[in-house]
Amino acid sequence: MNARDRIIVPLDMSDGERAWLTVNALRDCVSWFKVGLELMNMVGAPRAAGLVKRQGRNLMYDGKFADIPNTMTGAVKAAVSHGADMLTIHASAGWESICAAVAERGSAKILGVTVLTSLAETECLSIFGDMPDRKVLQFAHILSDSGADGIVCSPQEAQTIRGFSKFNSMIIVTPGVRPAWAAANDQKRAATPAEAIRAGADYLVIGRPILKPPPEIGSPKNAVERIVEEIESVK
Tell me the pLDDT of the chain (235 aa) as tens digits: 899 999 999 999 999 999 999 999 999 999 999 999 999 999 999 999 999 999 999 999 999 999 999 999 999 999 999 999 999 999 999 999 999 999 999 999 999 999 887 888 898 888 888 888 889 999 999 999 999 999 999 888 899 999 999 999 999 999 989 998 877 655 556 789 999 999 999 999 999 999 999 999 999 999 999 999 999 999 7
Residue 147, CB-side half-sphere exposure with 13 Å CA sphere: 12
For CA atoms 163, 186, 22, 49, the dihedral sign is positive
Would you call 87 helix, strand, or coil by DSSP?
A: strand
Nearest residue to 83 via CA among 65, 99, 55, 59: 59
Catalytic residues: 64
Q: Is 106 left (phi over 0), alpha (psi -120 to 50) or beta?
A: left
Structural domain spans, the chain: 3-232
Q: At what angle do helices 95-103 and 69-81 cross, to 10 degrees?
A: 30
Beta carbons within 8 Å of 231's beta carbon, 6+ residues apart: 3, 6, 7, 193, 194, 197, 204
pLDDT at position 188 is: 56
Asked if the 3-232 domain carries CATH number 3.20.20.70, the reply is yes
For CA atoms 66, 69, 74, 76, the dihedral sign is positive
pLDDT at position 119 is: 82
pLDDT at position 186 is: 54
pLDDT at position 1 is: 87
